[in-house]
Amino acid sequence: MKKLFKKKLRPFYRFSKFILKVNLLKTMYINFKTQSFKNAIKLPIVVYGKLSIYSLRGSIIIDGPITTGMIQLGKDIDHNPISFCPIKLTVDGTLRFKGHAVISGGSTITVWEGEVELGKFVSIGSGVQLKSVSAIWVGEYSRIVALCTIMDTNVHYVKNILSGEISRSFSPIKIGNNCWINQGTVVAKGTVIPDYCITARNSFLNKNYSNLCSSHSLLAGTPAKVIATNTQRIFDFEKETQLNIFF
């Protein structure tokens, strides 16, 4: 009888727990501000904690089947203190989601112009700066860990005082599928990272690495170099638990 009672109460408990965590006001606002009524009523975007919206003059597009909570903003995924800070969101261009995605708290997502595309099941850790005036593409299942900086622009222009030459300050970024962009990595304009690549902590990437390596490479350093090949992050938590026991 006791087990049956707990089973019946469990859905109400989970719903109450969900309600306490979710910022309902911002959740309702961002859905009905950016999505059609047909999609907005399903609440595909759920806001946890604080969300500071600076501009929504552009478009937030969700490609694929719409389900409740498929885009989670502000959810703590890495237990970093900055994850309790608000997400800062500016969308004057196009922010496109190709499926489920998580963006942790304290991150800054700025699309001044052009398009930022996040593949399905992309996760972005806390305190990440992702800023674009051209284009940033992040492949499916890729993970950008806390405190990374992904910017396709230098923001300001720099002039050679002898020749007077001024170089273009922006260029698209492409991060492949199943990549692991480790904590503190800086990805600068014009960077291309092949599929299944790993970056070491605090690395600086600033070139087309598909010309230097294939998939499954480990990149490290400032600027980053290929230090290993045939590598792959194990994302399966069950396998990681088994490996922790083994080692």
Closest CA to 201 of 222, 225, 185, 180: 185
Closest CA to 138 of 191, 70, 210, 72: 191
Residue 142: inside a domain: yes
> pLDDT of the chain along its 247 residues, tens only?
566 666 666 665 565 556 668 999 999 999 999 999 999 999 999 999 999 999 999 999 999 899 999 999 999 999 999 999 999 999 999 999 999 999 999 999 999 999 999 999 999 999 999 999 999 999 999 999 999 999 999 999 999 999 999 989 999 999 999 999 999 999 999 999 999 999 999 999 999 999 889 899 999 999 999 999 999 888 777 888 887 888 8
Q: Which residues contact 40 (CB under 8 A, 6 or more apart)?
A: 31, 32, 34
Residue 204: inside a domain: yes
Q: What is the pLDDT of residue 13?
A: 55
Evaluate the CA torsion angle 161, 167, 169, 174 in order and state its sign: negative
Number of structural domains found in the chain? 1
The CATH number of whichever domain residue 154 belongs to comes to 2.160.10.10
CA torsion angle 209 212 217 218 (round to 10): -70
Residue 3: inside a domain: no
- Provide the domain limits for residue 148: 23-158+167-246
Tokens describing residue 244: 């922790």
Residue 11: inside a domain: no
Residue 18: inside a domain: no
Q: What is the pLDDT of residue 10?
A: 67
Q: Give 208's strand partners.
A: 192
Residue 4: inside a domain: no
Q: Give 205's strand partners.
A: 187
Residue whose structure tokens are 């503190």: 184
pTM of the predicted structure, to 2 decimals? 0.89
- Please give the Cα distance from 193 to 189 (Å, whole number): 12
* Long-range Cβ contacts of 104-109 (<8 Å, 24+ apart): 104/74, 104/75, 104/76, 104/77, 104/78, 104/80, 104/128, 104/146, 105/48, 105/49, 105/50, 105/74, 105/75, 105/76, 106/80, 106/82
Residue 54: inside a domain: yes
Residue 67: inside a domain: yes
